[in-house]
Structure 1
Amino acid sequence: MAGIGSRPLIPGLQGPSLSSVEDFRISVNVDPAAIPANLRKNCILFYTNDMEELAKKVAGHADGNIELGKIRWKKFADGFPDLFVEDALHIRNRHVAFLASFHNPSVIFEQISVIYALPRLFVGSFTLVLPFFPTGTLERERFYFGDAVLPLFESGVPLLLERLRQLPDRDNITIAYPDEGAWKRFHYSFKNEGFPEVICTKVRDGAKRLVQIKEGDPRGRHVVIVDDLVQSGGTLIECHNVLASMGAKH
Structure 2
Amino acid sequence: MSKAEDAQPLGGPAPKRQRSPPQGFNPTKYVVLSYKTLDTFARRLEAADPERFSVYETKWGKFDDSGMDNIVMGGFSPVNVVMRSHVLFLADFNSNDAILSQLHVLVMLCESFIATLTIYLPYLPTATMERITVEGEVATANTVCRILSGLPHTGGPSRIMFYDLHTLQNRFYLHTGAIATMHTTIPLIKEVLARKGSPIEAIAFPDEGAQKRFGSLFAEYDVVTCGKKRVGNERNVVIQDGDCQGKHVLIIDDMVKTGGTLVECAKALMLHGASAVSAYCAHAAFPHGAEYRFCKGGDRAVFSTFFVTNSNTTVVERILALPKEETLFEVLDILPLVINDL
Which digits, 9 at most, give the CA deviation of each residue in 1:71-120, with x for residues without a partner?
11111223222111123221100010111122344422212222222222
- In structure 2, the residue matched to 1:204 is 230
- In structure 2, the residue matched to 1:84 is 72
Please tell me the residue identity of whatever aligns with 1:203.
K
Q: 1:134 touches 1:229 (CA, 8 Å); kept in 2?
A: no
Please tell me the residue identity of whatever aligns with 1:185.
R
Give the TM-score normalised by structure 1. Answer: 0.77
Equivalent pairs: percent with the same residue?
A: 30
- In structure 1, the residue matched to 2:322 is none
CA distance in 2, matches of 1:38, 1:210: 51
Question: Does structure 1 residue 160 correspond to structure 2 residue 151?
Answer: no
CA distance in 1, matches of 2:222, 2:246: 13
Which digits, 9 at most, give the CA deviation of each residue in 1:190-213, with x for residues without a partner?
11xx11111011223466543211
Question: Does structure 1 residue 218 correspond to structure 2 residue 209?
Answer: no
CA distance in 2, matches of 1:93, 1:207: 61
CA distance in 1, matches of 2:147, 2:266: 33
Q: 1:135 touches 1:229 (CA, 8 Å); kept in 2?
A: no
Q: 1:203 touches 1:209 (CA, 8 Å); kept in 2?
A: yes
Please tell me the residue identity of whatever aligns with 1:236.
L
SS of residue in 1 equivalent to 2:244:
coil
Please tell me the residue identity of whatever aligns with 1:150.
I
SS of residue in 2 equivalent to 1:41:
coil
Please tell me the residue identity of whatever aligns with 1:136.
A
Question: Does structure 1 residue 126 correspond to structure 2 residue 114?
Answer: no
Would you identify which runs of 4 or more consecutive aligned residues in structure 1 move more than 4 Å? 11-14, 35-38, 205-208, 229-232
Please tell me the residue identity of whatever aligns with 1:198.
V
**1:106-117 maps to which residues of 2 (within 5 A)?**
106-117=97-108
The Cα of 1:229 is off from its aligned counterpart by 5.0
CA distance in 1, matches of 2:259, 2:40: 26
SS of residue in 2 equivalent to 1:224:
strand
- In structure 1, the residue matched to 2:146 is 143
Q: Once superposed, what is the RMSD of the aligned Cα atoms? A: 2.5
SS of residue in 2 equivalent to 1:90:
coil
1:244 to 238, 248, 270: 270
- In structure 2, the residue matched to 1:3 is none
Q: 1:209 to 1:127 in 2, by over 3 A?
A: farther
Q: Which runs of 5+ in 2 are unaligned?
A: 1-14, 131-140, 150-174, 278-342
The alignment of Structure 1 onto Structure 2 pairs a total of residues equal to 220
Q: 1:181 to 1:58 in 2, by over 3 A?
A: same
CA distance in 2, matches of 1:120, 1:156: 32
Q: Which runs of 5+ in 1 are unaligned?
A: 1-10, 15-30
**1:228-243 maps to which residues of 2 (within 5 A)?**
228-230=254-256, 233-243=259-269
1:178 to 206, 211, 219: 206
CA distance in 2, matches of 1:246, 1:47: 47
- In structure 1, the residue matched to 2:53 is 66
CA distance in 1, matches of 2:55, 2:36: 13
SS of residue in 2 equivalent to 1:150:
strand
CA distance in 2, matches of 1:208, 1:152: 39
Please tell me the residue identity of whatever aligns with 2:109.
L
- In structure 2, the residue matched to 1:55 is 42
CA distance in 2, matches of 1:240, 1:157: 20
Give the TM-score normalised by structure 2. Answer: 0.58
Greater helix fraction, Structure 1 or Structure 2: 1
The Cα of 1:161 is off from its aligned counterpart by 0.9
CA distance in 1, matches of 2:180, 2:248: 34
Q: 1:44 to 1:80 in 2, by over 3 A?
A: same
Q: 2:33 touches 2:74 (CA, 8 Å); kept in 1?
A: no
Which digits, 9 at most, give the CA deviation of each residue in 1:121-143, with x for residues without a partner?
11111000012235436753523
* Bigger shift: residues 149-158 or 73-82: 73-82
Q: 1:48 touches 1:111 (CA, 8 Å); kept in 2?
A: yes
SS of residue in 2 equivalent to 1:127:
strand
Question: Does structure 1 residue 101 correspond to structure 2 residue 77?
Answer: no
Q: 1:46 touches 1:68 (CA, 8 Å); kept in 2?
A: yes
SS of residue in 2 equivalent to 1:217:
coil
CA distance in 1, matches of 2:196, 2:91: 30
